[in-house]
């Protein structure tokens, strides 16, 4: 079900990515004024902690090879049972204890998320990785700026539990300072079945601090009884090959910063550039 030549996640490395000067900073925004009386929906769906947002009020802005504004459907997390693992993407060979995915769809091409998830170029996902930091003041962490998110985790401890989450300014989802100018971009897939290969991936290259107790709050959530572990963790897919041996058109990973000399590019990468341009 999850075989293919453009699967996600993948290992991300500066030296193996192609600089694209057309990639501009990533941003999130909302239509209309922020309303504190609005609710998001928080859910333990049995394999992750997910927060769903009201339909097409919040958006992800991407610029570059595929310009577009994408409607934010939900965001969810992947984490490890300890802080040595957890993220789905690796950066320079390093795994992180937590990765957040902001899942969006092209509401100009498709009437709803269900149709977009099956269609060509239907989805775009923004990935953010987190590193553990015991010294950072809690009020300076991104998770703290997401309103009462962490306080509500206990409400969805049990599998399939749902709870209202008071809305917070959507800009908190990308409160990473200048890091939104440094990212990787590639075409890939969903990381859970059916692993559809129609996802336009953006992964911020700079990790975000998270405190140990914030990580432990997520590890407190429970799996269904059918799982080997009681407490949720290690809910990540391991990185896949960027270009399997049977690939016909090589996949290229782009980066948004510090152009590299064309002379340093590998023959495979040069061939990929020619194919993409013509």
* Residue from 47, 89, 101, 158 carrying the catalytic annotation: 47
Lowest mean pLDDT among 41-50, 63-72, 146-155: 63-72
Identify the pLDDT of residue 64.
Answer: 61
Q: How far apart are CA 243 and CA 96, in angstroms?
A: 23
Establish whether 47 is a catalytic residue.
yes
Contacts of 241 (CB under 8 A, 6+ apart): 7, 10
Model confidence band, residue 229 (pLDDT cutoffs 50, 70, 90): confident
Lowest mean pLDDT among 62-66, 77-81, 272-276: 272-276
> What CATH number labels 11-277?
3.10.200.10
Residue 256: Cβ within 10 Å count: 24
Q: What is the 3-state secondary structure (H, E, C) of 138-204?
A: HHHCCCCCCCCHHHHHHHHCCCCCEEEEECCCHHHHHCCHHHHHCEEEEEECCCCCCCCCCEEEEEE
Q: How far apart are CA 265 and CA 111, in angstroms?
A: 41
Q: What is the pLDDT of residues 239-272, one digit of tens each?
A: 999 998 888 899 999 999 986 544 344 555 545 5
Q: What is the pLDDT of residues 156-172, one digit of tens each?
A: 999 999 999 999 988 88
Percentage of residues in the chain with pLDDT exceeding 70? Answer: 90
Residue 76: Cβ within 10 Å count: 19
Q: Provide the residue ranges of all domains of the chain, joining segments of one domain with +.
A: 11-277
Give the chain's mean pLDDT.
89
State which H helix or E strand residue 75 sits in: strand 68-79
10 Å CB burial of residue 41 (0-12, 13-18, 19+) is: middle
Q: Cβ(243)–Cβ(12) under 8 Å? A: no
Q: What is the pLDDT of residues 142-152, one digit of tens each?
A: 999 999 999 99
Q: What is the pLDDT of residues 94-137, one digit of tens each?
A: 999 999 999 999 999 999 999 999 999 999 999 999 999 999 99
Beta-bridge mates of residue 254: 18, 185
Q: What is the pLDDT of residues 169-223, one digit of tens each?
A: 888 888 766 668 899 999 999 999 999 999 999 999 999 999 999 999 999 999 9
Identify the pLDDT of residue 176.
Answer: 67
């Amino acid at each position: 079900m999850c075989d293919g030549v453009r699967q996600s996640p993948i290992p991300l490395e500066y030296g193996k990515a192609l600089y694209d000067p057309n990639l501009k900073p990533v941003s999130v925004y909302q239509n209309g004024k922020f309303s504190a009386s609005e609710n998001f929906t928080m859910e333990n769906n049995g394999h992750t902690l997910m927060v769903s947002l009201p339909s097409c009020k919040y958006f992800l802005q991407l610029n570059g090879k595929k310009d577009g504004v994408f409607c934010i459907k939900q965001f969810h997390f992947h984490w490890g049972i300890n802080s040595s693992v957890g993220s789905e993407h690796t950066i320079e060979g390093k795994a992180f204890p937590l990765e957040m995915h902001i899942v969006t769809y092209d509401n100009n091409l498709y009437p709803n998320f269900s149709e977009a998830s099956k269609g060509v170029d239907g989805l775009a996902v923004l990935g953010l990785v987190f590193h553990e930091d015991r010294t950072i003041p809690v009020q300076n962490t991104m998770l703290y700026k997401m309103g009462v998110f962490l306080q509500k985790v206990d409400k969805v401890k049990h599998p399939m539990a749902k709870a209202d989450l008071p809305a917070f300014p959507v800009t908190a989802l990308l409160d990473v300072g200048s890091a939104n100018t440094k990212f990787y971009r590639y075409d890939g897939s969903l990381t859970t079945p059916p692993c559809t290969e129609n996802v336009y991936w953006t992964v911020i290259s700079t990790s975000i601090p998270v405190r140990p107790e914030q990580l432990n709050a997520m590890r407190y959530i429970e799996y269904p009884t059918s799982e080997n572990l009681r407490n949720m963790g290690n809910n990540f897919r391991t990185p896949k090959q960027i270009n399997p041996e049977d690939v016909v058109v090589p996949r290229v990973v782009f980066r948004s910063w510090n152009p590299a000399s064309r002379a340093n590019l590998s023959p495979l990468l040069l061939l990929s550039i020619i194919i993409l341009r013509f």
